[in-house]
Amino acid sequence: MYSFEKIISKLHNSINLTQDEACYVSQQMFTGELRENNIIEVLSLLNSKEIYPDELIGFARAMREISTKVEIDEKVIDCCGTGGDGSGTFNISTCAAFIAAACDIKVAKHGNKAITSKSGSADLLHDAGAKIDLNPTQVSECIKQVNFGFMFAPMHHQAMKNVAESRKKIAPNKTIFNMLGPITNPAQAKLQLIGVYDQKSMNLIADALVELGTERALILNSRDGMDEASIYTETDVIEIIGSKKTNYSIDPKKHNITCSNIDNIKTTDNKSSLDMVFSVINNEDSDAKEISLFNAALSVMLYKEISLDEAIKQCRDALNEYKVRDKFNQYIDFTNQV
């Protein structure tokens, strides 16, 4: 019914794939049927043509079908970015996840090692001393006991090893897989905070999430180009509640979020992502603390259905009382004990 040759021909002619065609070609990648040069060709052609919602949904369907699930009967949220914004900032979403977890919400964080950045969430947690290769049962228990569980993508999407080298060869250019990670959460999180690297991708991911059954989500892109909520400028948002999408923007100044200079949150040879996370959980005043707190508050707002200002207060209190540092250490201890 489908063939790689027909699909490649469509892509060469800039014709969008159907959901089923996209699902088929991604299955061929995941099962190792396609050679590396074929995978690079598909991903590059999708980039040059621009990715269409049905293509993203088709890839997500294939990835969800083969993933190893984390079974949990509690409400969970995932907060992550697509990566690929080229900003060189520290790992804000991972730091924010621990602040949110310290505010009594359950975070099922899905992540990987760095591909288009210096430090992925997996790199950061590993460097902090955590064991990141927990099995699904252990992750589920970690979420229940600690409020935070990390799902290392290769443990849940083992077929991704068949595309890893192709992605590295295309990097630092982004691919459809940058957008797939946030929408293929192994715990099937129905609440999601997703930062994306450009305006076009916001609508693309929003359309995919609606069709894939997400209950509530915030898709973010800041006007300074970060795949996070910025403290330096306004951030554009698409909010999803069921099948309804609402567009608005968030101005950090209206929520008493302070900042100095965006260079203060960028990693350098002398200051790693982990150094900045440690400074935040130790409640040191900095731009890193403010931007982590701001992003955490959006997750808390979404999860608890409270105002952003109330969520910011809860996050600031958790930092002031060193609950975030305790949560971070509790997570590392738990992963090493199991």
Are the beta carbons of 296 and 99 closer than 8 angstroms?
yes
Q: Is the pLDDT of residue 69 over 70?
A: yes
Amino acid code (one letter) for 288:
A
List, for residues 239-248, the tens digit of each pLDDT value: 999 999 999 9
The CATH number of 77-152+175-337 is 3.40.1030.10
| Cα torsion angle, 122, 128, 133, 134, sign | negative
List, for residues 264-313, the tens digit of each pLDDT value: 999 887 678 999 999 999 999 999 999 999 999 999 999 999 999 999 99
Q: What is the pLDDT of residue 116?
A: 54
d(Cα 209, Cα 203) in Å, to the nearest integer? 10
List, for residues 312-332, the tens digit of each pLDDT value: 999 999 999 999 999 999 999
Are the beta carbons of 56 and 179 closer than 8 angstroms?
yes
Largest CA distance in the chain: 60
Q: What is the pLDDT of residue 117?
A: 59
Are the beta carbons of 220 and 193 closer than 8 angstroms?
yes
Are the beta carbons of 268 and 259 closer than 8 angstroms?
no
List, for residues 1-40, the tens digit of each pLDDT value: 789 999 999 999 999 999 999 999 999 999 999 999 999 9
Q: Burial of 254 by CB count in 10 Å (0-12 exposed, 13-18 middle, 19+ buried)? A: exposed
Q: What is the pLDDT of residue 324?
A: 98
Q: Would you say the pTM of this structure is higher than 0.85?
A: yes
Q: What is the pLDDT of residue 118?
A: 61
Mean residue pLDDT of the chain comes to 93
CATH 3.40.50.10470 fits 4-66, yes or no: no
Q: Burial of 178 by CB count in 10 Å (0-12 exposed, 13-18 middle, 19+ buried)? A: buried
Task: Using the CB atoms, write b or e for 2-14: b if 16+ within 10 Å.
Answer: eeeeebeebbeee
Return the domain boundaries, the chain: 4-66, 77-152+175-337
Q: What is the pLDDT of residue 115?
A: 62
Are the beta carbons of 163 and 44 closer than 8 angstroms?
no
Same fold, 4-66 and 77-152+175-337: no
Structure tokens at 41: 């060709």
